[in-house]
Structure formats: C-alpha cells, structure tokens
Amino acid sequence: MDTIKLKYGCNPHQKNAQIYCDKLPIKVLNGNPGYINLMDALNSYQLVRELDISLNLPAAASFKHVSPAGAAVYYPLNDDEKKMYFVKDELSELAVAYTRSRGADRLSSFGDFVALSRECDESTARCINKEVSDGVIAPSYSEKALEILKKKRKGSYTVIQIDKEYIAPKNEKREIFGITFEMDRNDVIFDKSYLENIVTEKKEFPKSAIIDLIVATIAVKYTQSNSVCYSYRGQTIGVGAGGQSRIHCTRLAAEKSDRWLLRMHPKVLNLPFKEKLSRNTKDNVIEQYLNEKREIDLFNEETLNLYFDGKVEVLSEKEKEEYLKNINSICLSSDAFFPFEDNIYRAKRSGVNYIVQPGGSIRDEEVIKACNDLGIVMAFSNLRLFHH
C-alpha cells in the first residue's frame, strides 16, 4: 500500500491526514502538500486531461477550494490579451494555456493550485514562477522547468507528477460521518457529439463556439454544483460555483465575465501604473477601478500618487454598458437544466449567444422560446454534471 502523509487535513487542527492506494499514481517531487492541495490537484488534473483528450490542445487550470478559478486550452493571445495578462515574452502553447487559465479570474486565482495536461516546459514554469501559487500537477517536467519550480517559495513549492497512463477504477468511494458512499465514476468525456441536439430555431455553432462550449462544460463538470460557466476564446471567463439557486450562479458568472471583458477596455489597458507595482497590486487596483462601489477611493490625490504616474479617467457605467453591448459571441454551459427563462435573459445581457445545458425542465419550452426571441443557439446535451 502506497501512502503519502500530509501536513494536515482540511484545517490545521485536523491531524493524521494521509492519502493511500495500492499503487499511488502520483509522486511529490518537491514540497509537502496538504489535504486540500491534493483535492485541487486531482480534480484539476482530470479537468485538463479531459480538455486535452476532447480538443487535442494543451490545457491548463487554476484551482481554488476544489473548483476552477479558470481553465483554458491553447488559443493565440491577441495584443489586448497580452497587455491585460502582462505578457511581454514569447510563450509556448502550454504557457499560453496556463496564462489564460490564470487570467480568467486573477483575484480568485491568488494562491491557487495549477494543473497542466502536458509536460511542464521552461516557458510555463517561468510564468508560474511569477504568480502566488501553492503548487502544480503535471504528467512530467523538463529539467529546466523542475529546476525553476523547486526554487519557488524558498524551495517549499509543491510539485506533483502524475502518471499520464493512470486510469482510475470505475467505482469510487468516499466516507461522510463514518458512512461509506459508493458510485460509478463520472468518466464521460464531453465532446462535440453532445452539441448535436440543437433545440432552437438557429441551428449552427461556429467552430470557435464548439471549442468554447467544450471548455465551459468540462469546467462545470469539475465545479462544485450548482455551477454555470461563461467561456470565450478558448478559456473560461466567468465561473459561478456552489450556488443553491441557478440564477444566482448565472448572475455571479456573468458579473465575472463582464469584468474580464472590461479589463480590455482602452481606459483599463492604458491605466498609467507606476512601474514598480506588483502584478497582484495592479490586479487589485483594476478590480477597484471597475467596481462601481469601490472600497478604495482611487481618485483622491494620495491614492493617485501611490499607484499611478499621471491622470486617471473614470470609466462610467454608461461607458461600460456601451463597451459590453458590442460583444455577442460568449458561450455558456450549465451543469443542470435551467428551471426558468430568467437565466437566459441575464446571460444575453452579458453577450451570450451560444448555450449548452442538459435540458429536462418542465419549462424547457419557455427557455427555448426565450432563446429564440433573443437569437441564441442552444443545445441539449442530455447529460447532467453535478459535482460534489
């Protein structure tokens, strides 16, 4: 029996934590992972593995508290995205996927666990090294990448290697309050075949939407339910996780999606930050700048001198609305059916034109009608993806 002793369980007072298996498929190459680290690692690796299988593209994920803050496949960065993500160097395809996953929700990714679908190369390791992160899991590491990562966090950064040939048993078990639960694993790999049952008047998904719907759906498969995910250009841009009400998930994911899109507004891209500000400080300032109800007054003299070299113009709510209303190719996936059409109307306000959901609600026809009225293409996958 292979065993790895852990720092502690979910919390420091929960001692005697370990993982074990007849033959563990992972090796800890550096650091000392905790219980939640490994929950993040094993869930996130499944996500990126399935993205790579489905789309045959390098994939990456940024996980926090057993849900993705971001997930992405390789999709070339445009100039605005490079500026938004603080990219100055040429990146490998895997490094681009990582940069996208980390950039989906940079505030939520602070202190994340990273998953990579392919060997971690030097380019990706250098990107990871710039961020505040707890650890990384990948099937292998180049010699230079491992050297870089082993020095991160004063040598304590967790680096895990997983056997890429490992296939989990079909049956899985967990224990709650001394009682063992058992079921078949959710081993379905979502691909474009699940997008064929288009139920709306509009009947075509462009190729870019097919990629984005697959990204969003595999992401919600590994997001604590209820969950809704918005995606665009090969990455998630808004994840609404763990809500008891689906409309609340839809709203939360929409708000995150809107903020991601607004980060490319010219006023945001051209904020005159002081040169020595950290990336995390810039992220926090941008969040405040985009927030109508700011916790910090960014426009008083003291704050301006602290963060900026030059004048800063307010981005008005009207300007935000004008910018966002021109975007209409966002994709959305839901882990279960939409019980009411209010989700569709809210999604449309954030530029959603393509949707996949399982279907099966007694109000399916009302939801379909809302999509038809708004010109949205929607498919029923007939595949519920609750995750707990």
Q: What CATH number does the domain containing 333 carry?
A: 3.40.140.20
In a domain, 174, yes or no: no
In a domain, 175, yes or no: no
Task: Kindly tell me if the per-residue pLDDT of 116 is higher than 90.
Answer: yes
Assess whether 253 and 338 both reside in one domain. yes
Half-sphere exposure of 200 (CA within 13 A, CB side): 26
In a domain, 202, yes or no: yes
Assess whether 159 and 210 both reside in one domain. no
Task: Kindly tell me if the per-residue pLDDT of 229 is higher than 90.
Answer: yes
Assess whether 160 and 135 both reside in one domain. yes
In a domain, 386, yes or no: no
What is the side-by-side order of every strand in the sheet holding 235-241?
26-30, 158-162, 133-138, 112-116, 59-64, 67-73, 235-241, 227-232, 330-334, 352-357, 377-380
Closest CA to 42 of 129, 107, 135, 104: 135
Going by pLDDT thresholds of 50, 70 and 90, the confidence category of residue 10 is confident
Assess whether 22 and 117 both reside in one domain. yes
DSSP 35-52: HHHHHHHHHHHHHHHHHH
Provide the domain limits for residue 228: 189-262+324-380
Q: Cα separations (Å) of 50 from 25, 67, 71, 188, 338?
A: 17, 15, 12, 9, 25
pLDDT tens track for 266-278: 999 999 999 889 9
Assess whether 145 and 203 both reside in one domain. no
Assess whether 228 and 359 both reside in one domain. yes
Assess whether 162 and 252 both reside in one domain. no
Closest CA to 332 of 225, 239, 247: 239
Assess whether 163 and 15 both reside in one domain. yes
The kind and range of the H/E element at 303 are: helix 301-307
What is the Cα–Cα distance from 234 to 372, expressed in whole angstroms? 25
The kind and range of the H/E element at 59 are: strand 59-64
Assess whether 310 and 338 both reside in one domain. no
Going by pLDDT thresholds of 50, 70 and 90, the confidence category of residue 299 is confident
Task: Kindly tell me if the per-residue pLDDT of 294 is higher than 90.
Answer: no
Task: Kindly tell me if the per-residue pLDDT of 304 is higher than 90.
Answer: no
How many domains does the chain contain in total? 3
| Active-site residue list | 64-65, 226, 388
Three-class secondary structure of residue 208 per DSSP: helix
pLDDT of residue 20: 85
Q: What is the reported pTM?
A: 0.95
Distance of CA 283 to the CA centre of its chain: 17
pLDDT of residue 339: 92
Assess whether 25 and 156 both reside in one domain. yes
What is the Cα–Cα distance from 68 to 113, expressed in whole angstroms? 9
Task: Kindly tell me if the per-residue pLDDT of 144 is higher than 90.
Answer: yes
Mean per-residue pLDDT of the chain: 94
Strands 330-334 and 235-241: unpaired
pLDDT tens track for 343-373: 999 999 999 999 999 999 999 999 999 999 9
Least confident segment among 12-26, 196-210, 293-307, 324-338: 293-307
Going by pLDDT thresholds of 50, 70 and 90, the confidence category of residue 301 is confident
Assess whether 63 and 129 both reside in one domain. yes
In a domain, 173, yes or no: no
What average pLDDT does range 238-243 have in this prediction? 95
